[in-house]
Amino acid sequence: MRGKTRHQEWLFSYVPIEQRIPKSHRLRAIRERVDKILARMSPDFDRIYADTGRPSIPPEYLLKGLLLQVLYSIRSEGLLLEQLDYNLLYRWFVGLGADDEIWEETVFSKNRERLLEGDVADRFFSEVVIEAEKEGLISRDHFTVDGTVVEAWAGLKSFQKKQDTAKAKNKKDDSDQDGSGSSRNPEVDFHGEKRSNDTHESKTDPEARLYRKSKNQGAELSYLGHVAMENRNGLAIDHRLTQASGTAERDAAIEMAMGLASKGGKTLAGDKGYDTKDCVAALQSLNVTPHVAQNIKRRGGSAIDGRTTRHPGYEVSQRIRKRVEEIFGWLKSVGPMRQTHFRGQARVAWMFAFSLGVYNLLRISNLCGN
């Protein structure tokens, strides 16, 4: 028999949110780990917040909300709060009741700024790595390092001569450069103009740098994100975010290798970009064997020879090192790091570290089968 539709809304619901979430839902295992991590971070939160005043949004709620934003590719905080208002799964994960009021977007953003000022993202990432170590998922011997371009939240039209940038900051409105009557998005002709990071800077994000990843790509205002991956299960164990430059990847690799060497790291894999005499010598001085790809076309030949490449471990490292691209692929396709929505190196670095922590949480859940 055909059922009849109802045109009157139910006034009450007697089913708790907990019962509405399937027992096998992936977020259950992630939430359990996140709660443990946030409990250990509670002393860090106490140092950030004052003892008196009006209560703000709990930092645990903020971080869980941002985690959902990264995990479900929610493109703005406004949409995140909209989802929190009617999505019972999101309410359950954050810790809100069915009738709890959702915050205003400006209130959420203002409270988030307090977390950006502290080292919360780095601590969160470190605690996730500790969780992986407890599960026996971290290798202590073999690692891979690589870097990726993070497009800045700034357009090429904002990349102007430094003296022009200083003048623009003192003006209330942009000048009508093309005479079209519109000052919001004027036509700019860069043809024949030589631009470099020494003479130009972005008035939108002065810390972003014009950078070209390869000869086949156009230059963009960017940052560089660097990741050290352990080779056993492809988990990120260290990270850096730097201004874009030709030596930033090698400098970050050496800096991260210092930490890996202190923990017993033996080999560090990488692509051809790390095959330079200075980088290889620096790694060897740390007693870390550089398993980097040979750049035979480099002037003077490769910096590593048969004493390294003859070992079977070198071939294994070269095969496994490509898995670091899975991390970057996730950060840019699911996470928010294809083009950051933050301005300034410190803020972009915060979100880069936090997104890596979310990736590791998801990876740990997959490896543990929950």
Buried b (16+ CB within 10 A) or exposed e, 273-288: bbbbeebbebbeebeb
Nearest Cα neighbor of 349 from 224, 205, 255 is 224
* 209 within 8 A of 222, measured Cβ to Cβ: yes
Q: In terms of domains, do 258 and 146 share one? A: yes
- Examine the pLDDT at 128 and tell me if it is beyond 80: yes
Give the phi and the psi of residue 71 in degrees, each rounded to 5. Answer: -70, -35
Nearest Cα neighbor of 318 from 279, 283, 267 is 267
Residue 346 pLDDT class (50, 70, 90 cuts)? very high
pLDDT number for residue 193: 72
Dihedral, 288, 292, 297, 301 alpha carbons, nearest 10: 20
Indicate whether 103 belongs to any domain: yes
pLDDT number for residue 262: 84
Residue 14 pLDDT class (50, 70, 90 cuts)? confident
Kindly report the pTM of this predicted structure. 0.89
Residue 213 identity:
K
Q: In terms of domains, do 290 and 338 share one? A: yes
Residue 166 pLDDT class (50, 70, 90 cuts)? low
Separation of alpha carbons 362 and 370, rounded Å: 10
Indicate whether 128 belongs to any domain: no
Indicate whether 312 belongs to any domain: yes
Q: In terms of domains, do 95 and 146 share one? A: no
Q: How many CB atoms lie within 10 A of CB 25?
A: 13
Indicate whether 168 belongs to any domain: no
Q: In terms of domains, do 112 and 246 share one? A: no
Q: In terms of domains, do 48 and 97 share one? A: yes
What is the SS3 assignment for 62? helix
Q: In terms of domains, do 272 and 143 share one? A: yes
Indicate whether 239 belongs to any domain: yes
Total structural domains within the chain? 2
Q: In terms of domains, do 104 and 226 share one? A: no
Q: In terms of domains, do 34 and 80 share one? A: yes
Q: In terms of domains, do 52 and 146 share one? A: no
pLDDT number for residue 61: 95
Question: Taking the chain, what is the end-to-end CA distance rounded to the nearest angstrom?
Answer: 41
Indicate whether 212 belongs to any domain: no
Q: Which residues form the domain of 273?
A: 139-152+221-342
* Torsion-angle region of 290 (φ positive above 0: left; ψ -120 to 50: alpha; else: beta): beta
Residue 184 pLDDT class (50, 70, 90 cuts)? low
144: DSSP letter: E
Indicate whether 360 belongs to any domain: no
Write out the two tokens for 295: 């750049």
The CA distances from residue 341 to 15, 55, 61, 136, 312, in Å, are 38, 28, 21, 35, 43
Separation of alpha carbons 48 and 114, rounded Å: 7
How large is the greatest C-alpha to C-alpha distance in the chain, in angstroms? 83
* 151 within 8 A of 338, measured Cβ to Cβ: yes
- Examine the pLDDT at 126 and tell me if it is beyond 60: yes
Residue range 33-45, pLDDT digits in tens: 999 999 999 999 9
- Mean pLDDT over residues 303-330, rounded? 93
* CATH number of the CATH domain containing 147: 3.30.420.10
Separation of alpha carbons 233 and 198, rounded Å: 41
Q: In terms of domains, do 147 and 296 share one? A: yes
Q: In terms of domains, do 296 and 148 share one? A: yes
* 68 within 8 A of 74, measured Cβ to Cβ: yes
Residue range 211-253, pLDDT digits in tens: 988 777 788 999 999 999 999 999 999 999 999 999 999 999 9
Q: In terms of domains, do 145 and 93 share one? A: no
Residue range 101-119, pLDDT digits in tens: 999 999 998 888 888 877 8
53: DSSP letter: S
Residues 6+ apart with CB under 8 A from 317: 142, 144, 231, 267, 269, 291
- Examine the pLDDT at 318 and tell me if it is beyond 90: yes
